[in-house]
Structure formats: structure tokens, C-alpha cells
Structure 1
Amino acid sequence: MYNGRDMTELSMISKKDWNDHELTYFHHSFQQIVPYLNAEGQSIQREIVEEIQNRGGLRNTRE
């Protein structure tokens, strides 16, 4: 279960300031609803993917 900052809070900060757990969780969540995303949602998903790529992928974030 995700226990962290919600999208309202995260939307106010750069994706560079998100931790790996937040990127992983929201990347997975957005993947589940891709067919239903509007242009803004698609843009957010793209930014999340770009940040994951900039970090060289994601490590195991389960704790």
C-alpha cells in the first residue's frame, strides 16, 4: 500500500524532487488508466517516465 505524498502535493513540485517510491507508485497507477487519461494526464505520465529514465531506471522500492 502506498503511504506517501498525494498527487495534489506532488503536482506542485518538480519530478526531480519525487522519491523513487513515489515515481514507482504513480507510474504503475497511470499505466493502469492510460486509455482514460486526458492530455494533462498523458503529460504527467510522460514526465514521470522521463524522470525514471533520467535516473537510470528504478531500483526495488519495496520496503
Structure 2
Amino acid sequence: MQTPRDFTELSMISKTRWQDEELQYFQHALSQILPYINSEGLTILHEINKEIYTRAEKQDSQYT
């Protein structure tokens, strides 16, 4: 996997424009430090999880 774009850059664009690898990378990273993140970090993690779920749903609907 290539190194994902810098989080500062990504935070300025919609999660819908993030690459799958970036979503997965930051979802994993934030999940690892979950006990230490504040409410803003938790909100970002929820948004990432929602985008991953939405993309999975779209992909599943293409095959049905």
C-alpha cells in the first residue's frame, strides 16, 4: 500500500473523496488509539466507518 495522503489534507475534503486505502488506514489507526481520542476524533472515526459501510453497501447492491 502506498503511504496515504496526510491527514491534514484529507480533513479538508469529504470522506467520499478519500481512497479506500486511506479510509482503511485511518480507521485502523484511530481504532488503535480509541481510548485516548477526544470527541472530535471519535466523530471522525464514526464518519470513516460510515463511509466504509456505505461503499460496501453500494458494492453489494451492484451484485444483486
TM superposition outliers: structure 1 runs of 4+ over 2 Å: none
Work out the CA distance in 1 between the residues paired with 2:4 and 2:18. Answer: 10
2:28 is matched with 28
Q: How many residues align?
A: 57
- Structure 2 gaps of 5+ residues are 58-64
1:13 is matched with 13
Shift of 1:2: 5.2
Whose Rg is larger?
A: 2
TM-score, structure 1 normalization: 0.84
RMSD over equivalenced CA pairs, Å: 1.4
Work out the CA distance in 2 between the residues paired with 1:2 and 1:40. Answer: 26
- Identity across aligned pairs (percent)? 54
Instruction: Tell me which of the two structures has the higher relative contact order, counting C-alpha pairs closer than 8 angstroms and 6 or more residues apart.
Output: 1
- Structure 1 gaps of 5+ residues are 58-63
TM-score, structure 2 normalization: 0.83
